[in-house]
Amino acid sequence: MSLLGEDYTTEEGEFVINIGPQHPSTHGVLHLKVWLDGETIKKVQPHLGYIHRSIEKMSESLSYRNFIYATSRMDYLSAHINNQACALCVEKGLQIEAPPRAQMIRIILAELTRLASHQLWWGCTGLDLGAVSPFFYAFREREAILEIMEETCGARLTQNFCVPGGIMADIHPNFQKRTKDVLKQIKSKFQEYDDVLTGNVIFENRNKNVGFLTAEDAISFGCTGPMARGSGVSCDVRKWFPYDGYDKVQFDEVLGKEGDCFSRYMVRMNEMKQSVSIIEQLIDNIPEGDFQAKTKMVLKLPKGEFYQRVETARGELGVFIVSDGAASPYRIKYRSPNFSNLSALDHVARGYKIGDLVAIMSTIDLIIPDVDR
Amino acid sequence: MTNEELKQYISALFPTVTYDETGEFLNILIASTELKPLIKTLRYEDDLKFNFLFCLTCIDWKTNLMMVYHLISKTHKHIVVIKAKIADVVKPEIETVCDIYQTANFHEREVYDLFGVNFKNHPDMRRLLLDESWEGYPLRKNYVDENMITI
* B121 alpha carbon, distance to own chain's centre: 15
Instruction: Report the residue from A5, A219, A304 with minimal CB separation from B51.
Output: A219
Instruction: Using a CB–CB cutoff of 8 Å, tell me whether A351 touches chain B.
Output: no
Res B130: pLDDT? 86
- The predicted model gives B62-79 an average pLDDT of 88
Closest alpha carbon to A111 in A173, A170, A186: A186
Q: Would you say residue A47 lies in a domain?
A: yes
Closest alpha carbon to A276 in A257, A300, A249: A249
Res A299: pLDDT? 85
| DSSP output for A282-351 | HHT-PPPS-SB----SS--PPSEEEEEEEEETTEEEEEEEEE-SSSS-SEEEEE-HHHHHHHTHHHHHTT
The secondary structure element, H or E, covering residue A238 is: helix A237-240
By the 8 A CB rule, do A307 and B73 touch?
A: no
CB pairs under 8 A between A and B: 85
- The predicted model gives B94-108 an average pLDDT of 89
C-beta atoms of B138 and A330 within 8 A: no
How far does the CA of residue A180 sit from the closest CA of chain B (Å)? 37
Res A85: pLDDT? 92
Q: Would you say residue A347 lies in a domain?
A: yes
Q: Would you say residue A8 lies in a domain?
A: no
With a cut of 0.85, is the ipTM above it?
yes
Phi and psi for B118 in degrees, rounded to 5? Answer: -90, 125
C-beta atoms of A306 and B24 within 8 A: yes
Q: Would you say residue A3 lies in a domain?
A: no
pLDDT bin (cut points 50, 70, 90) of residue B87 is: confident
Instruction: Report the residue from A316, A344, A373 with minimal CB separation from B54.
Output: A316
- Which A-chain residues 277-336 have CB contacts (< 8 A) with chain B? 304-307, 309, 316, 318, 320, 322, 330-331, 333, 335
- Name residues whose C-beta falls within 8 Å of residue A357's C-beta, 6 or more positions apart in sequence: A19, A32, A34, A41, A44, A349
Closest alpha carbon to B59 in B132, B96, B114: B114
What's the pLDDT tens digit per position in B103-116? 888 999 999 988 88
* A174 alpha carbon, distance to own chain's centre: 27
Residues of B in contact with A333 (CB under 8 A): 55, 57
The number of folded domains in chain A is 1
Closest alpha carbon to A231 in A266, A264, A190: A264
By the 8 A CB rule, do A14 and A354 touch?
A: no
Res A6: pLDDT? 59
Long-range contacts of B68-74 (CB under 8 A, 24+ apart): B68/A320, B69/B39, B69/B97, B70/A307, B70/A318, B70/A320, B70/B25, B71/B39, B71/B42, B73/B48, B73/B49, B74/A219, B74/A233, B74/A234, B74/A235, B74/B49
How far does the CA of residue A196 sit from the closest CA of chain B (Å)? 36
- Sorted by where each starts, the structural domains of chain B and their CATH numbers stand as 3-91 (3.30.460.80)
- Name residues whose C-beta falls within 8 Å of residue A83's C-beta, 6 or more positions apart in sequence: A68, A69, A71, A72, A159, A160, A161, A162
Q: Consecutive 10-residue runs of chain A (373 residues): their mean pLDDT?
A: 55 80 73 87 87 87 88 88 92 89 90 91 87 88 90 87 88 89 90 86 88 89 90 88 88 88 90 91 88 85 89 90 88 90 90 88 86 86
Q: Are strands B93-95 and B118-120 parallel, antiparallel or unpaired?
A: parallel
Q: Would you say residue A2 lies in a domain?
A: no
By the 8 A CB rule, do B6 and B19 touch?
A: no
- Name residues whose C-beta falls within 8 Å of residue B91's C-beta, 6 or more positions apart in sequence: B118
Res A328: pLDDT? 87
In 3-state terms, chain A is what percent helix, strand and coil (to 5)? 50, 15, 40
In 3-state terms, chain B is what percent helix, strand and coil (to 5)? 25, 25, 50
Res A83: pLDDT? 92
- How far is residue A237 from each of residues A313, B42, B61, B77, measured CA to CA in Å? 11, 23, 31, 13
CA distance A73 to A33: 26
Q: Would you say residue A259 lies in a domain?
A: yes
Amino acid at A71: T
Its pTM stands at 0.87
| DSSP output for A69-113 | HHHTTTSGGGHHHHHHHHHHHHHHHHT----HHHHHHHHHHHHHH
Instruction: Using a CB–CB cutoff of 8 Å, tell me whether A52 touches chain B.
Output: yes
By the 8 A CB rule, do A320 and A56 touch?
A: no
Res B116: pLDDT? 87
By the 8 A CB rule, do B100 and B124 touch?
A: no
Residues of A in contact with B57 (CB under 8 A): 320, 331, 333, 335
Domain that holds residue A149: 14-372
Q: Would you say residue A4 lies in a domain?
A: no
CA distance A231 to B34: 34
**What is the radius of gyration, based on Cα positions, of chain A?**
21
Q: Are strands B65-72 and B52-60 parallel, antiparallel or unpaired?
A: antiparallel
Res A2: pLDDT? 42
Residue A297 sits in a domain whose CATH number is 1.10.645.10
Vertex A352 angle, CA A349 and A357, to 5°: 55
CA distance A222 to A231: 13
Q: Would you say residue A192 lies in a domain?
A: yes
C-beta atoms of A52 and B130 within 8 A: yes
CA distance B89 to A330: 18
State the DSSP code for A45: E
How far does the CA of residue B59 sit from the closest CA of chain A (Å)? 7
How far does the CA of residue A372 sit from the closest CA of chain B (Å)? 7
C-beta atoms of B102 and A343 within 8 A: yes
